[in-house]
């Protein structure tokens, strides 16, 4: 199995690693919500939030580039909000004609767009830090302690666990196609037409669905035979210590301080 494809946990013994997973999940969710609630253009609050992430990153014994490089995955998705530059009312910065329409970029639109990008960037960094310092079973166990519905936890757990199996099944289908199929050659172009490729891809997707469905039935019956009762077990006792409560309280104070900075300054 290609475990490294999805599993981003980094083994460590830092303070962040040893924290109760409930503390890390709660603080991460509250941090993301806090970013959403910050007003547009709250640059000091955004900088303070990033500073907090950098401190947490160093406390977890990660390099600066660990969060910085991986967090850029959020930027292409944040670009979907680029339309606010043209639709948000405000003082016009520049404008030009496009056919019969006038396209105008406003200052308020630019501020909102940059704020959305920064919010997304900071939120992804917090999520990366959570997954890098918390093992997946512990995270699911923390959600159960936090009274998240069991059916939702089971769906997330099985989806994560068997994505590895699904990837391996897809790779086997690709290898089988390469071993059994001759390449079409037409004027130096290999692989056939677009319609031919679409037909082959659709056939492989159908086979992958059928195989996955059959295997899911076998896996579920095997789990029932081995005593599965809808709960995932972990070696972590998940007992909140004084250190965990102290870190949770400190995190809550810092999140409230971010809101005060964002709405006052």
Q: pLDDT tens, 222-234?
A: 888 888 776 666 6
Q: Let me know: does 105 contact 85? Beta carbons within 8 Å.
A: yes
- Domain shared by 221 and 242, yes or no: no
pLDDT for position 252: 94
Q: What backbone torsions phi and psi does residue 88 show, to the nearest 5 degrees?
A: -75, 125
**Per-residue pLDDT tens over the stretch 250-265:** 999 999 999 999 988 7
Does residue 144 belong to any structural domain of this protein? no
Same domain, 35 and 64: yes
Query: 99-138 pLDDT, tens per residue?
Result: 777 778 888 888 899 999 999 999 999 999 998 998 888 8
Average pLDDT for 175-200:
65
Tell me how far apart the terminal alpha carbons of the chain are, to the nearest angstrom.
51
Domain span at 105: 3-135+236-264
Q: How far apart are CA 9 and CA 113, in angstroms?
A: 32
- Answer with the residue of higher pLDDT: 252 or 95: 252
Number of domains in the chain: 2
- Quick one: DSSP state of residue 81? G
pLDDT above 70: residue 182: no
Encode 96-132: b = buried (16+ Cβ within 10 Å), e = exposed.
Answer: eeeeeeeebbbebbbbbbbbbbbbbbbbbbbbbbbbb
Specify if 13 maps to a domain: yes
Q: Are residues 93 and 173 in the same domain?
A: no
Same domain, 213 and 106: no
Residue 231 lies in a domain: no
Say yes or no: 100 and 198 in one domain. no
| Domain shared by 218 and 241, yes or no | no
One domain, residues 109 and 194? no
pLDDT digits 0-9 by tens, 46-68: 999 999 999 999 998 888 888 77
Query: CB neighbours of 58 closer than 8 A, spacing ≥ 6?
Result: 64
pLDDT for the residue numbered 72: 79
> How far is C-alpha 119 from the chain's CA centre?
14
- 52 assigned to some structural domain: yes
Same domain? For 127 and 243 the reply is yes
For CA atoms 176, 182, 187, 193, the dihedral sign is: negative
Q: Do residues 117 and 98 both lie within one domain? A: yes
- Judgement on whether residues 176 and 255 belong to the same structural domain of the protein: no
Instruction: Give per-residue pLDDT as tens, 191-217.
Output: 557 777 777 778 888 878 887 788 778
Establish if 172 belongs to a structural domain.
yes
Against a cut of 0.85, is the pTM above it?
A: no
- For residues 25 and 69, membership in a common domain is answered with yes
Return the closest-CA partner of residue 164 out of 10, 17, 6, 49. 6
Predicted confidence at residue 45, as pLDDT, reads: 93
| Domain identity same for 9 and 105 | yes
């Amino acid at each position: 199995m290609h475990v490294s494809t999805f599993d981003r946990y980094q083994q460590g013994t830092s303070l962040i690693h040893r924290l109760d997973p409930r503390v890390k999940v709660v603080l991460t969710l509250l941090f993301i919500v806090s970013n959403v609630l910050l007003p547009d253009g709250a640059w000091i609050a955004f900088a303070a939030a990033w500073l907090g992430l950098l401190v947490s990153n160093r406390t977890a014994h990660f390099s600066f580039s660990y969060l910085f490089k991986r967090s850029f995955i959020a930027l292409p998705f944040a670009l979907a909000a680029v339309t606010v530059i043209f639709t948000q009312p405000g003082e016009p910065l520049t404008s030009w004609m496009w056919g019969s329409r006038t396209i105008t970029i406003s200052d308020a639109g630019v501020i909102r767009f940059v704020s959305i990008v920064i919010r997304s960037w900071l939120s992804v960094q917090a999520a990366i830090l959570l997954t890098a310092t918390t093992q997946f079973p512990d995270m699911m166990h923390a959600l159960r302690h936090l009274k998240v519905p069991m059916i939702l936890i089971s769906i997330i757990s099985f989806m994560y666990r068997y994505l590895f199996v699904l990837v391996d099944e897809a790779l086997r289908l690709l290898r089988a196609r390469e071993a059994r199929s001759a390449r079409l050659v037409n004027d130096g172009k290999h692989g056939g037409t677009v319609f031919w490729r679409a037909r082959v891809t659709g056939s492989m997707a159908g086979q992958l669905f059928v195989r996955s469905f059959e295997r899911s039935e076998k896996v579920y019956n095997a789990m029932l035979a081995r005593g599965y009762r809808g709960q995932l077990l972990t070696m972590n006792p998940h007992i909140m210590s004084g250190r965990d409560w102290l870190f949770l309280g400190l995190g809550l104070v810092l999140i409230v301080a971010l809101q005060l900075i964002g709405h006052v300054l």
